[in-house]
């Protein structure tokens, strides 16, 4: 299954904005660890250990056989990883989750990112806003942070 989320962003996210993203993603993970959410399956990028959430980057995956592709969102895209789009000049990235359990966490992170970056980030998905893990992610952002109801996917 190739279920994937896509985004275009600037090479460098301003530190103040990334700090807010970091704070909300950290709070989301704290909530997940203390809830019945089933997010105990989140791991580091290689499907082992713990997610890595710092003021420099966000890295996680599913755990073990529940892993697929790593969700990786750095504050500054390293030069050797920078992929500017021909159409808009922004860095293109994606995370193929194949709809595995960690997909809800990916959707939630993308809503958080969109909240703080607004039009500076374009987010699209193989799914629709009213299906898959998007409704759960929107609900979680509303419950934890008071935003998310106005989140919309951008056209691909």
E-state strands within 87-155? 91-96, 121-125
Instruction: At 105, list the tokens.
Output: 């966490």
Closest residue by Cα to residue 7 from 102, 114, 128, 103 = 114
Residues 63 and 44 sit within 8 Å (Cβ to Cβ): no
d(CA 143, CA 89): 35
pLDDT given for residue 39 in this prediction? 63
pLDDT given for residue 89 in this prediction? 86
Residue 30 DSSP symbol: H
Residue with tokens 């301003």: 14
Tell me the mean pLDDT in the region 2-24.
Answer: 96
Residue 2 confidence class, pLDDT cut points 50, 70, 90 = confident
d(CA 42, CA 63): 5
Which residues, 6 or more positions from 119, have their beta carbon under 8 angstroms from its beta carbon? none
Higher pLDDT, 109 or 85: 109
Q: For residue range 28-68, what is the model confidence (pLDDT) as tens digits?
A: 988 876 665 556 678 999 999 999 999 999 999 999 999 99
């Amino acid at each position: 299954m190739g279920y994937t989320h896509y985004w275009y962003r600037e090479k460098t996210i301003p530190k103040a904005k990334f700090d807010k993203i970091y704070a909300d993603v950290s709070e989301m993970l704290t909530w997940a660890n203390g809830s019945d959410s089933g997010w105990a399956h989140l791991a580091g990028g290689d499907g082992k250990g713990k997610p890595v959430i710092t003021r420099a980057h966000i890295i996680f995956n599913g755990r073990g056989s529940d892993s697929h592709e790593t969700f990786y969102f750095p504050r500054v895209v390293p030069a050797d990883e920078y992929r500017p789009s021909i159409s808009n000049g922004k860095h293109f990235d994606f995370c193929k989750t194949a709809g595995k359990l960690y997909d809800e966490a990916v959707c939630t992170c993308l809503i958080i990112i969109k909240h703080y970056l607004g039009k500076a980030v374009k987010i699209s998905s193989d799914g629709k806003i009213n299906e898959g893990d998007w409704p759960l992610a929107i609900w979680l952002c509303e419950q934890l942070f008071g935003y998310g109801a106005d989140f919309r996917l951008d056209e691909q």
